[in-house]
């Protein structure tokens, strides 16, 4: 199951947080971005339950992350 995680974070820590996100197991790729979100991460996990666990317990737990929004890939 693939999903995109849009991340807002402390602007002063974006590059540090980006490296932390890249090191999360299940994250395929992550990029710093411009616009509404600071970081975009593509994740791949076994099922919907794992999406929730990865986002809540791993990504949202990174110090400086203030908000996430997740979109499931359907195609």
CATH number at residue 58: 3.30.70.920
pLDDT given at position 67: 98
- Yes or no: say if 9 and 33 are a contact pair by the CB < 8 Å rule: no
User: Range of 26's domain?
Assistant: 2-72
Q: E strands, 1-75, where?
A: 2-9, 27-32, 39-44, 65-72
H or E segment to which residue 15 belongs = helix 14-22
- Domain count across the chain: 1
Digits of tens for pLDDT over the chain (75 positions)? Answer: 999 999 999 999 999 999 999 999 999 999 999 999 999 999 999 999 999 999 999 999 999 999 999 999 998
pTM score: 0.94
């Amino acid at each position: 199951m693939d999903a995109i995680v849009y991340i807002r974070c402390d602007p002063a820590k974006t590059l540090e947080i980006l490296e932390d996100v890249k090191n999360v197991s299940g994250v395929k790729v992550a990029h710093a971005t411009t616009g509404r979100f600071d970081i975009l991460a593509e994740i791949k996990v076994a099922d919907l339950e794992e999406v929730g666990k990865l986002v809540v317990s791993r990504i949202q737990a990174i110090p400086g992350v203030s908000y996430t929004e997740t979109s499931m890939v359907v195609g």
